[in-house]
Amino acid sequence: MNTKTTSVDCPNCKKSVEWADENNFRPFCSKRCKLIDFGGWASERNSIPGESVYPAAEDEYDQ
Ligand SMILES: [Zn+2]
């Protein structure tokens, strides 16, 4: 088994992120970075008026 810890750079803020199963936001460092990045490409690629891009948007306020 590989017990070595893998780290990646957060695509949003470039912070080193531990690639662990418990990190639900990987490769991002936090929910905030994930939402910022996802919202960025989602609004560019899925700009469908009247349709919610990500239904879990209320999680944004659960900081
Ligand atoms: Zn980050």
CA of 29 to the centre of ligand 1 (A): 4
Tokens standing for residue 48: 């469908």
pLDDT tens digits, 6-49: 999 999 999 999 999 999 999 999 999 999 876 766 666 555 56
How many CB atoms neighbour CB 62 within 10 A? Answer: 7
d(CA 54, CA 46): 10
Tokens standing for residue 16: 């080193």
Q: What is the pLDDT of residue 16?
A: 95
Cα separations in angstroms, 8 against 15, 27, 37, 44: 8, 6, 16, 25
For the whole model, what pTM was predicted? 0.53
- What the chain holds in terms of domains, given with CATH numbers, is 1-34 (3.30.50.10)
CA of 23 to the centre of ligand 1 (A): 12
On whether the CB atoms of residues 29 and 38 are closer than 8 A, the answer is: no
